Each structure stands twice: as C-alpha cells, then as structure tokens.
Amino acid sequence: MVDGNTAPASRPMRADAQRNYDRILAAAEAAIARDGADASLEEIARRAGVGSATLHRHFPSRQALLEVVFRAKVEALCHRARDVTTDPDPGNALVTWLRAVVEHAASNRGLAAALMRGAHDGDPTFGATCHSMITSSGVELLERAGQAGAIRPGVAIGDLLTLANAIAMATEREPNGAAEADRLLTLALDGVHPLT
C-alpha cells in the first residue's frame, strides 16, 4: 500500500539500517492492520527478521512507530482535503472531508486514538506532526465553509476533528461501525434538536 516510506534522511543511514527500518515498517503495517494499534512490538520485530533491540533503536516508543505507519494515511487525508475544494459548495466540501476522516480512522483501528494522543504526549519533534498536518488541512476547509455561512460561528477545526475522531474511536469495534459512525457524524453535524 505504502511504497516509498523512508527514514528521515538527516544523515544518510547505513544500507543495512535502512533495510531493517523498511522491513520493520512493513511488518508493523501488516501487524497493525491485523491487530490494531496495540500489536505486539516483539512480534513485529520477529516478522521483520530483526532483533527487538533493533526495533527499539529505530522507534524509541510505540507512539513513534505508529506515527510513521500512519503518516502515509494522514498524507492521503491531506490530499483529500485539497481534492474536495473542487466542490462548489464549501460547506459540502468540509462535510465530505470530515466523513473521509471518520472513514479513514475506522478502517485503521487505533489511528484515531493515536492521532489524539499524539496531540499532546508524542515525541515533540514528530508526535505533533500528524496532528498538525491534519489540523492545517482542515482549517482551510473550515474557513471557506465559514465564509460561505455554512458553519455556525465559533466552531473550531479542533472541535470538529476531535468530534470526528471520537466518533471513529467509539464505533471502531462495533459490528458494522462504518454505518454507525456515519449516522453519528450526520447527527452531530445536523444537531439533535429539531431543524430550521
């Protein structure tokens, strides 16, 4: 799914280090897809054919590994934010994108939680990155929608994302969480009280 995920090339890595980094990442991606964000690091290392110490050297914390694994997905989401701007209705654009955020989080168990956690206790150099990438993608959509009068004033992008992530978290273990999540998002967007 993800092709060119590489380490940040501050100083070029030794070839074997780069190779192991990539193998760990691939194994982690598979394991997380299967077991969620609390997959066993030990097993990831085993499947990658490296010692556990190597995994811990490359990724000092579970959070660090999650960040890198999820980065590609987050980037896709940011792309999506640019795509939806083609919608002539900025309100629609924002809603479509929020829906995509929920859907994305639902199909990557633990992504939502990881993103939120990353907001305030991840590795500072890296931890906040995913969170801020998404936030800055969303803020543009929100501004346009706000100017179009489609959004109640005083609504912050952080609120919307927290809400979207909350819904994704809450529904990700449900039997058919996707439908449930969609319904809840619609409900939250429209409000519980009667309309117009």
Q: Kindly indicate which of the ranges 59-67, 80-88, 170-178, 179-187 contains the residues binding DNA, using the contact rule CB under 7 A.
A: 59-67
What does the DSSP 8-state code read for residue 122? S
Binding site partner of 51, from a copy of itself, DNA, none, Cβ cut-off 5-8 A by kind: DNA
Identify the DSSP state of 10: S
**By rule CB under 7 A, what count of residues binds DNA?**
24
- Among 161, 51, 35, 52, smallest CA distance to 98 is for 161
Q: Which of 4, 8, 33, 42 binds DNA (CB under 7 A)?
A: 42
Q: Give dist(CA 68, CA 136) in Å, integer.
A: 19
101, interface contact from a copy of itself, DNA, none, CB < 5-8 Å by kind: none
Of 36-44, 81-89, 100-108, 123-131, which segment contacts DNA by CB under 7 A?
36-44
191 binds a copy of itself (CB under 8 A): yes
Q: Which of 35, 91, 178, 182 binds a copy of itself (CB under 8 A)?
A: 91
176 part of the interface to a copy of itself, by CB under 8 A: no
Contacts of 155 by beta carbon, 8 Å cutoff, 6+ apart: 142, 146
156-166 as b/e: b if 16+ CB within 10 A: ebeebbebbbb
Sequential DSSP letters for 133-189: HHHHHHHHHHHHHHHTT-S-TT--HHHHHHHHHHHHHHHTTSTTHHHHHHHHHHHHH
**Amino acid, res. 165:** N
Q: Does the protein bind DNA through residue 34 (CB under 7 A)?
A: no
Applying CB under 7 A, the residues found at the interface with DNA are 13-17, 19-21, 40-43, 49-54, 56-58, 60-62
Applying CB under 8 A, the residues found at the interface with a copy of itself are 91, 116-117, 120, 149-152, 155, 159-160, 162-163, 165-167, 169-171, 173-175, 180, 183-184, 187-196
